[in-house]
Every structure is written in structure tokens, then in C-alpha cells.
Amino acid sequence: MTTELHGLPLFPLETVLFPGGVLPLRIFEVRYLDMIRKCHAVGAPFGVVRLRKGREVSAAGIEEAFAEVGTLAQIQELTTVQSGLLSVVCTGQQRFRVLRSERAKYGLWTAHVERVDDDQPVAVPPEHEKISQGLAILMAQLKARGAAHLPDAEAFGDCAWVANRWAELLPLPAELKQQLMQLESPLVRLDLVGDALERLGVLKA
């Protein structure tokens, strides 16, 4: 697999997409409608990057800036709700780092990016088993309530997967979620998620 991608279309959002996560989107802006249809037609991903400056909906005179590290999004479902409105469900794939980016005439960003290595499998250590167990309980409750857009695959014994799912679910600042997503060590990520769970009173020390 090539480590670089050229002309990757970007979707700056106020959220952070983690590898293995599920992201539902409602697409209505002209700059994204055509991009999403083209990506879906050929099975190509697009890049989700967190907005640091600007708005998700383009506005004249508003400058946009986004994080240098994002996540490839693969379209799993696409539904035409009505003319000019698409409903899309994507899954997070590999992370990437933006090397160069440019904005086209109609506001669509594209970039030359390099892929970031996938997290290596790291077993959840005994001292963090309560974090994994708590996630398993929560996700079972969400499924019982009929919650939509939960990951199909489950890996409650893997540090990265557990940390990523908690980071998605917790009410953490977007900047902190970005920092967690970028961390190279799955174990350090899980450590920090555990700290957040205790601070928020979700799990007891």
C-alpha cells in the first residue's frame, strides 16, 4: 500500500473521527455533494479533519484552518433523502498527516497526505480491565436501546479500540480528542482516557 495519497478530498468538521469509528453525515453543501457521490461511485475514501478555525458550513469571508492529522473515511451507506440532500454513514479507517493542501474555487479542500501507521495491537493490561468492562456494559446498554451507528466489530481486549470508543462517547473537548487520536501509543491513549473517566465520575479510581 502506498504511504502517500494525492488529491485527497477533505471534509473539515468540528468533530474528530477515530479509526474504527462510525460517522453519520447529512450532506447538502454543493462543494461536498459531488465529492461524496464520486467517492461512493469508485469506493474511494475522503479525509475528515478537525476544524481549528472557521465553520462547517462555508460562509463568505470566513477563513478555514484544520488539524494536520485526520482520518480516512470510507462510505458504507449513501441515501438520497431529497434533491440536494444526502444521508451518509462512514467508518474511520487509517490516520493521515497533511503535507500540502489547497482550496478549489468552490471551497473544496484537497490535500497531498501521508498515511500514519495503524495502531499496533496491545492487550488491555489488568489494571485497565475496568475501563474495558465499563465500555462493554455501556455499549450493550446502547444497543439494547436501539442506538444507531455503533461499530460492528468489537475488540474489548485491545487498548486502541477501547480508548478510541471511549474518546468518541465521552463529552471531551474536541482539541483533547484530537490529541488522543494523534497519540502513537495505544496504551498511553488508554491511560489518558482512564484519567478522563475518573475525572468525569464515570469510573471510580
**Domains of the chain, with CATH numbers?**
4-115 (2.30.130.40), 126-199 (1.10.4060.10)
Residue 190 burial by Cβ neighbours in a 10 Å radius (0-12, 13-18, 19+): buried
- For residue 161, the model assigns a pLDDT of 98
- For residue 8, the model assigns a pLDDT of 97
Write the DSSP symbol of residue 60.
T
pTM of model > 0.75: yes
- For residue 107, the model assigns a pLDDT of 85
Give the whole-angstrom CA distance, residue 137 versus residue 148.
16
Residue-wise pLDDT tens for the chain (205 aa)? Answer: 558 889 999 999 999 999 999 999 999 998 899 999 999 999 999 999 999 998 777 666 678 899 999 999 999 999 999 988 999 999 999 999 999 999 987 789 999 999 999 999 999 999 999 999 999 999 999 999 999 888 888 899 999 999 999 999 999 999 999 999 999 999 999 999 999 999 999 887 6
123 touches 158 (CB < 8 A)? yes
- For residue 205, the model assigns a pLDDT of 62
- For residue 61, the model assigns a pLDDT of 66
- For residue 60, the model assigns a pLDDT of 64
- For residue 2, the model assigns a pLDDT of 59
- For residue 1, the model assigns a pLDDT of 53
- For residue 16, the model assigns a pLDDT of 97
Write the DSSP symbol of residue 104.
-
- How many Cα neighbours within 13 Å face the side chain of 187? 8
- For residue 138, the model assigns a pLDDT of 95
- How many Cα neighbours within 13 Å face the side chain of 116? 21
90 touches 100 (CB < 8 A)? no
